[in-house]
């Protein structure tokens, strides 16, 4: 598919091709717009899904405030899902406090085979689910148990916690059931279902009583009643009253589940005038413990499945341990409780008839999980070892029966608690990339975009990452991947050196000239050694000056600083009288040395004539004409250097010279390169600066 991009940041118009089911490498120099391509694709797909217009944020500055020239991306209509590796992914999904990658369990363990096994196990225990769904009052009972237990607050060694709802509601006695003397005329309000609201209303209105002797609502004289009115707020607190109402309601709903003696004692506790005694407190603590235990029994049966049975050596013993013995719950031994417990126990008995089959399913599932943990851990740790990192990972099971990916340093046995603070920038990027790969394999989006992911790594780590991402059976191979990079090494590795190891990617070079984005395919034959490139350009070059550019590079890379090199250098420095220079001295070349150097050069450039070229380089009109006629930025740079070699006072020449000598001086940084005559490896803005200086000259 061809993705067209218009009016996005520094891209006015252009297109990139993406071959589906393959790795697509887009190699480009900095400033081309790689990140803009990534952002434009992300915004476009998000806008398609969300009916939004986030792509408008990419509108070029030159068009801001104007109508029209809106950012636009075409060709992604078939893409419904996308994953992008960038800083936001690292911040949102990687190196979380409790796990190395968000959703580790879903990514590394929960695959189709795992889900199929869980489905089979759940099918065997389906009778329990059916029993609970057909008897929803068990769920209601569990909820009531929870609410009553929460009312006791934090457990204590003795009695009821002083800050608990029960303590606040009943410690001073039930003042709703037993209205304090002198407040009888308010009884209908105090005993009303919304009593706590009335009490709050009373308290909120109290400040207005001091404004006058009249009621703030009916304006009747209340001088003689003020003391009684204010006493309501002294005796009652609306929050405590609300808690009391709820707890009384819960006790009432649970009354049929209490044994007869316990029910009688609880009713006395609820209606107590003076508050509960130490003995009642001890009694209530026992009731709470039995409620908690029975609730946990119900919940354990309701949640019965692989997680709760996988550590049981024998399923029959495991199922029997969930059976409820009501005789152990003396406070809850009622007919109603008995009925609920029999439902649970009967369901467990039915399941016991399938215990052998269940045992087999659980064992197979355990073996599967162990294999997934082992395989995924070994693959990630293999990458870490190959890349030279002193870390390894472990998939550790948490208390919910799910595995989380943990980071361990090789020098310790405990996990690294805060990975972000311990890992270097490069380590974080490397980890993030590999973990992103597993996440992408799990989610399987239509398109995966990697924006300059590996340029900051040294060579051995680059290859280890590329190997992990695109070679292994568990990798992004055969996925539709767009890799945007200014690093040439992945192309050399995958297209040239190790094409037998990798699925061949679709590789191309991106160029941005004055906002127009274009791309050029990179074939295996386009990747050449530095020496091959120079030899080819010496033979194919159109201008003798350009041929000398590559010949000088060839002399330098082969460390041949003899007479031929000296003659080439003299041409570039416009010396009518050639000199021989080395590290320690400079002298005039002899006629023999000049002749020898010229003959050596003619072995590469047949029509080389020193005198003619000296005349050319000293003729500003002719040499500038050669500059303008050159169609290659790399050659333009070198011609520019010749033009201004003896013009140190030219305005801005020092700035441009810095670009030439430092930033974009193409040398033998890599053994294998693209030919700078065929691919514009020097950015256009550098040439634009050169054009300005030449125009001023």
Are 537 and 641 members of one domain? yes
613 and 638, same domain (yes or no): yes
- Segment 469-473 shows an average pLDDT of 86
| Band of pLDDT at residue 527, cut at 50, 70 and 90 | very high
For residues 518 and 604, membership in a common domain is answered with no
If residue 546 lies in a helix (H) or strand (E), which one and from where to where? Answer: helix 544-557
Which segments within 330-420 are labelled E, that is strand?
A: 391-397, 403-409
Is 536 found in the same domain as 458? no
- What is the H or E stretch that residue 484 is in? strand 481-485
Q: Which of these, 74, 89, 58, lies nearest to 18 by C-alpha position?
A: 74
Residue 529 DSSP symbol: E
| Domain containing residue 210 | 179-235
Flag whether 264 is in a domain.
Answer: no
Q: Which of 235, 254, 281 is the last residue of a domain?
A: 235
Only one residue has tokens 């924006």, namely 451
Chosen domain end from 169, 203, 235? 235
| Tokens found for residue 4 | 């067209």
Three-state secondary structure string covering 41-52: HHHHHHHHHHCC
Percent of the chain with pLDDT over 70: 84
pLDDT in tens, 329-351: 999 999 999 999 999 999 989 88
Nearest to 523 by CA among 507, 509, 511: 507
Q: Give 380-439 pLDDT, tens digit per residue.
A: 888 888 888 888 888 888 888 888 888 888 888 888 877 777 888 778 888 888 889 999
In a domain, 608, yes or no: yes
| Number of domains observed in the structure of the chain | 3
| Same domain for 219 and 73 | no
Residues constituting the chain: 697
| Residue in the block written with tokens 């990192």 | 389
Same domain, 519 and 532: no
CB 34, CB 452: distance < 8 Å: yes
Same domain, 532 and 470: no
As to burial, measured by CB atoms within 10 angstroms (0-12 exposed, 13-18 middle, 19+ buried), residue 259 is: middle
CB 291 within 8 A of CB 149: yes
The pLDDT tens digits of the residues spanning 157-193 come to: 766 777 777 666 565 556 556 666 666 666 676 556 6
Q: What percentage of the chain has pLDDT greater than the value 90?
A: 28
pLDDT band at 668 (very low <50, low <70, confident <90, very high): very low
Asked if 391 contacts 434 with a C-beta cutoff of 8 angstroms, the reply is: no
Report d(CA 537, CA 546) in Å as an integer.
8
What digits encode the pLDDT tens for the residues 556-583? 888 898 999 999 999 999 999 999 988 7
One domain for residues 547 and 596: yes
Q: Which residue has the higher pLDDT, 599 or 179?
A: 599
pLDDT in tens, 618-664: 998 998 899 898 888 888 888 888 888 777 666 555 656 666 665 45
In a domain, 62, yes or no: yes
Question: 10: domain CATH number?
Answer: 3.40.50.300
Q: Considering the domain boundaries, does residue 371 fall inside one?
A: no
Is residue 500 within 8 A of residue 43, CB to CB? The reply is no
Pairing of strands 579-581, 11-17: unpaired
69: left (phi over 0), alpha (psi -120 to 50) or beta: left
Q: pLDDT confidence of 217, banded at 50, 70, 90?
A: low
414, part of any domain:
no
Is the same domain home to 541 and 601? yes
Q: H/E element holding 82?
A: strand 82-85
Q: Can you tell me the distance from the alpha carbon of 402 to that of 396, in angstroms, rounded to the nearest whole number?
A: 8
Q: Is 200 a residue whose pLDDT tops 80?
A: no
Same structural domain for residues 579 and 683? yes
Q: Which long-range contacts (CB under 8 A, 24 or more apart) does 384-387 make?
A: 386/460, 386/464, 386/467, 386/468, 387/430, 387/460, 387/461, 387/464, 387/465
Do 79 and 201 lie in a common domain?
no
Q: Could you say which of 484, 505, 526 is where a domain stops?
A: 526
The rounded distance, in Å, linking the Cα atoms of 692 and 688 is 6
Residues 635 and 556 in one domain: yes
Q: Extract the tokens encoding 486.
A: 């200014």
């Amino acid at each position: 598919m061809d993705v067209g991009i218009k009016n996005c940041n520094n891209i006015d118009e252009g297109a990139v091709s993406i071959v589906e089911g393959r790795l697509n490498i887009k190699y480009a120099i900095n400033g081309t717009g790689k990140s803009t391509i990534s952002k434009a694709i992300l915004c476009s797909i998000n806008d398609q899904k969300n009916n939004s217009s986030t792509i408008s944020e990419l509108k070029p500055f030159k068009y801001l405030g104007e109508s029209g020239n809106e950012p636009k991306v075409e060709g992604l209509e078939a893409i419904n899902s996308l994953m992008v590796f960038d800083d936001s992914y690292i911040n949102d999904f990687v190196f979380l406090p409790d796990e190395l990658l968000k959703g580790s369990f879903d990514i590394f363990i929960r695959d189709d085979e795992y889900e199929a096994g869980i489905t089979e196990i759940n099918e065997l225990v389906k009778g329990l689910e059916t029993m609970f769904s057909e008897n929803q009052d068990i769920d209601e009972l569990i909820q009531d148990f929870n609410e009553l237990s929460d009312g006791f607050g934090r457990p204590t060694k003795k009695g009821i916690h002083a800050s608990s709802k029960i303590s606040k509601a009943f410690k001073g006695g039930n003042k709703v059931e037993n209205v304090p003397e002198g407040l009888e005329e308010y009884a209908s309000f105090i005993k009303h279902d919304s009593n706590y609201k009335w009490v709050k209303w009373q308290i909120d209105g109290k400040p207005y009583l001091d404004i006058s002797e009249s009621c703030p609502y009916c304006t009747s004289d209340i001088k003689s009643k003020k003391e009684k009115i204010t006493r309501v707020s002294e005796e009652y607190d609306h929050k405590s009253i609300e808690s009391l109402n709820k707890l009384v309601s819960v006790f009432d709903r649970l009354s049929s589940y209490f044994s007869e003696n316990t029910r009688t004692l609880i009713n006395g506790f609820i209606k107590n005038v003076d508050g509960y005694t130490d003995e009642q407190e001890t009694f209530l603590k026992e009731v709470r413990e039995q409620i908690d235990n029975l609730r946990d029994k119900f919940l354990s049966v309701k949640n019965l499945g692989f997680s709760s049975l996988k550590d049981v050596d024998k399923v029959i013993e495991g199922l029997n341990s969930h059976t409820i013995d009501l005789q152990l719950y003396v406070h809850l031994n009622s007919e109603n409780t008995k009925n609920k417990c029999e439902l649970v126990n009967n369901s467990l008995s039915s399941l016991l008839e399938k215990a052998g089959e269940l045992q087999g399913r659980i064992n197979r599932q355990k073996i599967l999980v162990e294999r997934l943990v082992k395989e995924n851990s070994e693959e990630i740790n293999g990458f870490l070892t190959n890349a030279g990192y002193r870390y390894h990972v472990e998939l550790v099971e948490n208390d919910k029966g799910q595995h989380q990916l943990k980071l361990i340093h090789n020098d310790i046995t405990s996990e690294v608690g805060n990975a972000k603070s311990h890992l270097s920038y490069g380590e974080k990027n490397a980890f993030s990339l590999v973990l992103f790969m597993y996440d992408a394999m799990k989610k399987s989006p239509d398109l995966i975009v990697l924006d300059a992911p590996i340029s900051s790594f040294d060579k051995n780590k680059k290859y280890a990452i590329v190997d992990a991402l695109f070679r292994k059976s568990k990798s992004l191979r055969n996925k539709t991947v767009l890799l945007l990079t200014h690093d040439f090494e992945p192309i050399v590795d995958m297209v040239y050196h190790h094409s037998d190891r990798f699925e061949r990617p679709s590789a191309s070079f991106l160029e941005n000239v004055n906002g127009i984005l274009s791309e050029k395919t990179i074939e295996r034959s386009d990747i050449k050694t530095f020496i091959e490139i120079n030899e080819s350009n010496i033979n194919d070059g159109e201008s003798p000056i350009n041929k000398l550019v590559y010949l000088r590079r060839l002399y330098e890379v082969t460390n041949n600083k003899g007479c031929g090199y000296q003659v080439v250098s003299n041409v570039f420095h416009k010396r009518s009288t050639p000199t021989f220079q080395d590290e320690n001295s400079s002298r005039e070349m002899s006629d023999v040395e000049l002749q020898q150097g010229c003959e050596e050069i003619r072995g590469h450039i047949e029509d080389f004539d020193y005198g003619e070229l000296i005349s050319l380089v000293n003729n500003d009109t002719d040499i500038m004409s050669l500059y303008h006629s050159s169609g290659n930025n790399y050659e333009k740079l070198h011609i520019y250097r010749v033009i201004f070699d003896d013009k140190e006072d030219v305005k801005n020449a020092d700035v441009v010279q810095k670009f030439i000598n430092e930033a974009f001086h193409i040398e033998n940084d890599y053994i294998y390169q693209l030919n700078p005559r065929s691919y514009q490896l020097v950015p256009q803005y550098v040439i634009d600066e050169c054009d300005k200086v030449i125009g001023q000259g």
